[in-house]
Structures are given as structure tokens and as C-alpha cells.
Amino acid sequence: MVSTLPPDPSAAEAETRLVLDSNRLSWSQILLVEDDASRATRRPVPGISNSVRGDITVCWHQIAADTPALVKSKSYDAGALDAAEGRASLALEMLDELGHLSPAPIVVAGTTYGSNYRFLCGLRERKLNFAVELPPSALVEPVVVRSWAEPGRLIPLAELLQHAQWTKFSIVHPTTEQPVDFLWADFGPVMRQGLRTRLLIVQTGNVTRLQPGTVFALVSDDTADPSQLINAVGWTRWIRPFVRKLERNARTENGVETPIPPTRLTPDVAVRVNITIARQQDEAARQERELPIEAPTLRGCLATAGTDLKVAELFAGAGGMGLGFLLAGQADCRYRLIFSGEVHPIYVETLKSNQAALAAALRQRTDVVPEQLEALDLRAPEVLARAERDCRDAGGVDILIGGPPCQGFSSANRNSGHSSNPHNQLVEVFLNYVERLRPRVFLMENVQGIVWTPKDSESAEQLSVADDFTQRTMEAGYIVFPKLLDAAWYGVPQHRNRFFILGISTDMGYDAEDFGPWGPFPRPTHGPGTGQGYVTVRQALFDLPHIWNGYEVAEADYCPPTADELEQNPFLSAMRDGAPERIIWDHVTSKHAAYVIDRYRRIPQGGNWENIAEMLTNYADIERTHSNIYRRLVWDEPSITIGHYRKSMIVHPTQDRGLSLREACRLQSFPDWFRFAGSLDGSPRGLTHKQQQLANAVCPLVTRAIAAFILDL
């Protein structure tokens, strides 16, 4: 039994829920068609390339007893068939090749095929029932006379939401095996492109407005139980995690993705997979860090050629890594960027727009950065030749730095953690530049997944990407030091664990034994055993004005901290140095829907999505939700890792809103004068671009600490 609710379900106190029993379904099997046209494997890779894979794979899945199985797939060249009619025709041909299926299945498809007239006509010709999804902009004409619908008028589906009479029910999710709440409204028969069908609208959760979880379902059966139809069409969303799981299993079976432990080349890298383990490791190291150790014997030979150490930066992104080096300069010796390589045009605009601000903040000449910057694809042979020329004209390169895009190695990336991911192949590009430019020192940054991600190799010995890189740079004439560093160790108000490999040319006369257990890296200055606590979220953000959800004032009034506050808070003093005194830039927030803010209100400090699991009914597979999704920060601790903070829905410690861009910049240790470009012309528009640049950035205070140590090599 189900209960009919008023349009606003919050007005209904008593309710009866129907939990669908899949054994009562009219259709014992479902056939679902989908393709990978919009999958990540075919998208341009920001910062790498604008090219996409040329083929599209169409797949038919058979679903019985809530278990999908791939029964047929075909690939075609994206340019060989008409984008709409060709793909639909191919899907129908594949359906015919499956032959007669008994009992007759119901065909399910997402919006790509559901809105395709050729595809729907083909199903009708084959006398197959279907339940397909339409986009909110699709037009339909109600057959039954309605007071709010003029006869013959085509109505956008999104407009129908205001006229829906909702019924509540639950379905046991096939992956989590937990009941998930839905609302549905049955609009009865409608006409679409001359076809008479039935229209159902399904809302995930108790949200009645248009949302990502809204499903507009066009169904062929006028009499079937709506809950059965909704269960069938739900597979247009539920199929994604199943397909990804199959792909991961296939890679594992082929020996590509099987994680391997660090081998002989990186044996001392202790993986820090989450904050809890990181804290345990830091506490265990407390006594070791309290003990005095003999300082390494540094020869100071790196700077003998002059007062400028010349740096070439690869995969520069927004410039966080290079900024750390420039900030580390001293009166008698400084760093100078002679080459910056970055392919993404908007990131290049960020590099350009900060040059003048950088020179002013450093109180130095403008020649600390390259005179000209343009988007460069570092994979291109002509770009490598240009880098060689620029470095040769500058008198050679002392230090080569860079952080190849690392999404494929990231633990937050559940779907492309294998070395064939195009991001992962860029480590090879960095190696090419080491071999050709022959820097005296190189420093590469990446996520810790590089330690266990296997390197594709024809050799019998299976190495991780980190091990392969270490081995080949040793063969190229470097002594190499791998190290996992937490940004919080160096005064960043954020636990951010990143893998660094630092190489020193054997021509400089050093041996590995010259440096002790920490190698050529600075020892932690903050945390257990250092005498200084971690910098906390409160210390980083307490001075910023109180704002609200969707705040858009890019240049806001600001009451600066007192001299005493700055003296007691070195981190804040560093962030404010060089910034305008009574203005704060980019303290702006994304606009979240009211139901998202309601979720935020229910999360305590330190809590995450698990505190509101029953509300996350629009997630296709809640089991795969990352632990830092919907994480509310804690005032008196460092932040969690700041990735794409809007997508992760990171919540302010006390205000019920997402982080502002300036707050996220502070937590990444970008000073207040630093601004991200938002569009190709460098204008302030495009908050999404700024958020992504920040997510990819290296914390400047970390590389500043490393660069300060390197000065004495």
C-alpha cells in the first residue's frame, strides 16, 4: 500500500512505504543499452591534450535478479556514423543479433537513446516494452485534458514538476541493499513525436524540485505497476558502478592494476592512506623527532656559479610549486624561473596575472619569472627543443621541478588508477626532460599512489611507477631520494600527503650517506616532536569575514588582524604579506541548493557523509563514497586534504556553507595577493576553473621549505 502525498512531502507526517520485492516483477529480465561516449576515457584531459579517443563502444547488459551481465558490445569510429541515428541503428542491430529472448524483457535506456525517435520506433516495431529516460528539456503533450495544459501545447518536462502529485515508496538499492526513498508521479499517457507513451517522474529522496536525481521516464506499458517500471528505469543510473567494477576486475585479471608493495628502490616510504594512520605514524615518530641528529654536510656548491639559481618548471599548473621556490630566495642567493611549461590556457593566464603581484610581494625585480608565457604541450618534440634552447641561453638549468598531473594515481580516483591512464604517462615526459636538460638537481611531486601503481613494462620484473622512475634516473647519473611528506609538517594548515623524488647529479660529489635518514629534505617544523603544534583551520581562517551560501563579492571589505595577532600567528602573517590592507579577494562561495545546506546543518565538526547517509539518496552507489565527502572541518585541527572542495562538499567548521575560494587558498598556503584566472582572457569569471586549479596545486609552503634546504646543497 502507498500513500498519496501533497506536492510538498514535508507537510505529510504519517506515511506508509512500499519496499519493492523484485520477485514480483512483471519482467524477470531487463535489457539495458548504454555507451561510453561521455565516459572519462573519451574526454579531453585538462592540462594535457584536447584530443579524445575516436571510438565509441555500445553495450547491451542483461539484468536478472538484480545482477547485470554484459551480453553484447560493439565499437565504431565516432565520425563514421551519424551521432544520433547511426548509434541508435547500431544498438537495434545488436538487439536483433541477440535473438529471441524468453521471457520477453523490458528494454531500458538513458537519455541518449530515450530521446531518440529512431530507437523508440525500432522498439515498437519489435513489440518490446521499454522504460527510457528523457532530459528535462524534452517536450511532451498530455493526452488527458488538464486544467493547466492547453490542448495541443508541448510542455517541457521540467515544467511538469509543479503539477505533480507525489507518492512515496522505497526500493532496496541493488548495491547497498539498503532501502532508498523515492517520490513518483504518474502523468498517464502523453504524446511525444507522434508516439503515445506513458510518463512517470521519479524523484530521488524527498526533493520535489529539479535536481540531478530527477528521472523523467517514458514507458510503453500503460498498465504496469509504477514501482516495477521505476525499478527498471533505475538501472540507467545503477549500471555505472557495475560497469566500472567490471573494468577494474578486467584490468586486475590482465595483471595491469594489481597493487604491488614498494620494492627495493622505495622501501622506506611509509604510506599514509588516511588522517588516522598519519596521526598514529606521527605520534610513533615523536621521540625520534625530539632527538638531536647530526646535520648533513652540505658543500654549498650549487650556488657557486652566481647568486641566481635557474629553475625550469614543468607541468606548472597555477604555479604553486614555482612560487614556493621563489619565496625561498634569500638576499645572497635567489631562485629565478627561466622556463614554465603548462598546456592549459587558463592556467597559463593565472601564471601571467600573478607575475607583477609576485615581483611586488617579493620586493624583487620582475626577471624572477619568464618574460613570455604561452600554452605548451610538454609532450611535443618542438617544446622539448624550446626548453633546451631557453635553458642553454640562460646558461644552463640548475633545478628542474614539476608535478605531472596525478589524477590517475590518486586514491580519490576510483576508476582510472592504472598506468595506462594518460595522466600517469606524463611521469615519462618528466623523465625525458631530466635526461635532455641534465639539471644539477630535479624535484618531482606526485600523489603517494605512484608508489604502488604498477609500471607497464615488457621486463619480467614488475616495478611501480616510482621505482621505475627512480631506477632510470639513477642510470642517468643521479643519486635519488624518494620521500613522502605531509604539508602539515611544514606549517600548512592541511594534512596533504604527497610523494617527492629529489635527484642530485653525481657530478656534485654527494653520496647518499651524506644526508642521513631524511635525505636532502628539511625535517618537519610542526607536529609531534617538533616543539610546534600543527597550524589549525582556526589560525588560518579566523580573520575572514562571515559570509553565506552563494556569496559573490569578489573584492570585499576586510578588517586586518592586529600587529599582535600577526606576531602570534606566523602563518597568517605570511598569508597577508603583500596583500592589500583592507580588502580581501575571492572570498566567494558556490551557490548550493537548499537541500544541500540542510544536509550541512546536520553534520558536526569532524563529521562526514556517514552522518547524513539516509539523506544521500541521489548517490548512485553510496558504498563508494569517499570518506572526505561532506566533511565538516574542525577548528582546532589541520584541514583534510583540499582537493576540489566544491565537488567534495567540504563544509566550513561553524557556518552552514561550503568553503570560499579564499578559505581554500589559505588552507593550501597560497598568499592573499595570489589570484586564480577564471577564463582564457584572465578575467575573474569562472569560479569552477579556479576551484580546479586550486585542487591540482602544490602547497607553496612545502616547496618553499624544500627549496630553502636545496639552497645549501
Give CA–CA dist 579/297, Å, rounded: 38
- The pTM of this model reads 0.70
3-state helix, strand, coil in the chain (%, to 5): 30, 20, 50
Give CA–CA dist 573/82, Å, rounded: 60
Confidence of residue 419 (pLDDT cuts 50, 70, 90): very low
Checking if the pLDDT of 666 tops 90, the result is yes
Instruction: Give residue 496's pLDDT.
Output: 93
Strand, helix or coil at 59?
strand
Domains of the chain: 9-43+52-252 (3.90.350.10), 275-530+701-710 (3.40.50.150), 537-697 (3.90.120.10)
Checking if the pLDDT of 126 tops 80, the result is yes
Confidence of residue 6 (pLDDT cuts 50, 70, 90): very low
Q: Is the dihedral of CA 83, 88, 89, 93 positive or negative?
A: positive
Q: At CA 313, angle to CA 311 and CA 317, rounded to 5?
A: 145
Checking if the pLDDT of 671 tops 90, the result is yes
Confidence of residue 512 (pLDDT cuts 50, 70, 90): confident
Write the pLDDT tens digit of every residue in 463-491.
788 888 999 999 999 999 999 999 999 99
More confident residue, 500 or 274: 500
Query: What is the amino acid identity at position 94?
Result: M
Checking if the pLDDT of 352 tops 50, the result is yes
Checking if the pLDDT of 693 tops 50, the result is yes
Instruction: Give residue 549's pLDDT.
Output: 94
Write the pLDDT tens digit of every residue in 254-274.
444 444 444 445 555 666 767
Tracing cell 581562517 back to the chain, one arrives at: 541
Give CA–CA dist 204/615, Å, rounded: 10
Instruction: Give residue 652's pLDDT.
Output: 97
Lowest mean pLDDT among 103-112, 243-252, 301-310, 438-447: 243-252
Tracing cell 627549496 back to the chain, one arrives at: 707
Name the DSSP letter for residue 103.
S
More confident residue, 500 or 13: 500
Confidence of residue 13 (pLDDT cuts 50, 70, 90): very low
Write the pLDDT tens digit of every residue in 579-637.
999 999 999 999 998 888 999 999 999 998 888 877 776 665 555 566 788 999 999 99
Instruction: Give residue 256's pLDDT.
Output: 41
Q: At CA 645, angle to CA 628 and CA 577, rounded to 5?
A: 120
Of 260-269, 271-280, 493-502, 677-686, highest mean pLDDT: 493-502
Cell numbers that stand for 648 in this block: 567534495
Phi/psi for 273 (5° steps) reads -75, -20
Name the DSSP letter for residue 66.
T
Checking if the pLDDT of 685 tops 60, the result is yes
Strands of the 399-402 sheet, one edge to the other: 334-340, 308-314, 399-402, 441-447, 497-505, 478-486
Q: Is the dihedral of CA 7, 8, 10, 11 positive or negative?
A: negative
Checking if the pLDDT of 433 tops 90, the result is yes
Cell numbers that stand for 285 in this block: 615518530
Question: Percent of the chain at pLDDT above 70?
Answer: 79
Confidence of residue 310 (pLDDT cuts 50, 70, 90): very high
Report the pLDDT averaged over residues 435-455: 89
Write the pLDDT tens digit of every residue in 164-214.
999 887 777 676 566 777 888 999 899 998 899 999 998 877 778 887 778
First-last CA distance in the chain? 77
Instruction: Give residue 268's pLDDT.
Output: 57
Give CA–CA dist 344/333, Å, rounded: 31
Confidence of residue 358 (pLDDT cuts 50, 70, 90): confident
Confidence of residue 378 (pLDDT cuts 50, 70, 90): very high
Residue 558: closest CA among 546, 569, 573 = 546
Lowest mean pLDDT among 252-256, 293-297, 351-355: 252-256
Checking if the pLDDT of 66 tops 80, the result is no
Name the DSSP letter for residue 1.
-
More confident residue, 695 or 419: 695
Checking if the pLDDT of 576 tops 90, the result is yes
Instruction: Give residue 615's pLDDT.
Output: 76
Report the pLDDT averaged over residues 536-562: 95
Instruction: Give residue 366's pLDDT.
Output: 60
Mean pLDDT of all residues in the chain? 81
Checking if the pLDDT of 233 tops 80, the result is yes
Residue 481: closest CA among 193, 209, 706, 171 = 706
CB-based contact 364:334 (threshold 8 Å): yes
Give CA–CA dist 590/657, Å, rounded: 9
Report the pLDDT averaged over residues 49-62: 74
Locate all alpha helices (DSSP H) within 569-699, ordered by sequence: 570-576, 594-601, 661-667, 687-696
Q: Helix 226-233 to helix 235-253 angle, to the nearest 10 degrees? A: 30
Checking if the pLDDT of 38 tops 50, the result is yes
Lowest mean pLDDT among 57-66, 197-206, 420-429, 504-513: 420-429
Checking if the pLDDT of 355 tops 70, the result is yes
Instruction: Give residue 608's pLDDT.
Output: 87
Checking if the pLDDT of 81 tops 80, the result is no
Lowest mean pLDDT among 332-346, 356-370, 562-576, 595-609: 356-370
Cell numbers that stand for 441 in this block: 638537481
Instruction: Give residue 678's pLDDT.
Output: 86
Confidence of residue 132 (pLDDT cuts 50, 70, 90): very high
Give CA–CA dist 387/162, Å, rounded: 60
